[in-house]
Structure 1
Amino acid sequence: MAKDAIKLRAVVKEAYSTDLYSVELENGAIIKAHISGKMRVNHIRILPGDEVDVEISPYDLTQGRITYRHK
């Protein structure tokens, strides 16, 4: 997935659990996204309203992975 991933900026709208979030992309679409392994290991906390980078697979545009939280 890393080579084909679509990278976009998004805003976290809702937190469902510690690793599943609803995010709104730049184009207005809302998708589900989970946090990446490195963010989970380093205990990066994500709250609603945070601006994040999301990787989306071209095969399933409804799910993504949060790779970075902007400050």
Structure 2
Amino acid sequence: MAKDDLVQVEGKVADLTGGGIYFVTLENGLPIKARLCGKMKRFNIKVVVGDRVTVGVSPYDPTHGLITHRHKI
């Protein structure tokens, strides 16, 4: 699936685990698991608890997603 096929939603990072999995609470209150997309890993962009992020969620499995953008405060 291409990155263009993902549904873009905004949320807030609630928790993170040691394996690079972030728990993100979306605007509508649903919690999902997300990981960093490739360009965020490549350019070494750090995401911490409390950051607002844009998550690309697959229409086939809405419980997992890719963090594609970290919003500046």
Interval containing the TM-score (normalised by the shorter chain): over 0.9
**2:48 counterpart letter in structure 1:** L
Q: How many residues align?
A: 71
Structure 1 segments unaligned to the other structure (5+ residues): none
* 2:36 equivalent in structure 1: 35
Instruction: Please give the alpha-carbon distance, in whole angstroms, between the structure 2 residues aligned to 1:18 and 1:41.
Output: 17
Question: Runs ≥4 in structure 1, deviation > 6 angstroms?
Answer: none
Q: Deviations for 1:5-54, whole angstroms, at most 9, x for unmatched residues?
A: 11000100001136210000011000000000000011100000000000
Instruction: Please give the alpha-carbon distance, in whole angstroms, between the structure 1 residues aligned to 2:52 and 2:63.
Output: 18
Scaled by the length of structure 2, the TM-score of the pair is 0.91
Aligned residues: CA RMSD: 1.1
* 2:5 equivalent in structure 1: 4
1:3 is displaced (CA, Å) by: 3.3
Scaled by the length of structure 1, the TM-score of the pair is 0.93
Residue identity (%): 44
Structure 2 segments unaligned to the other structure (5+ residues): none
The structure in which a higher percent of residues are strand is 1
* 1:15 equivalent in structure 2: 16
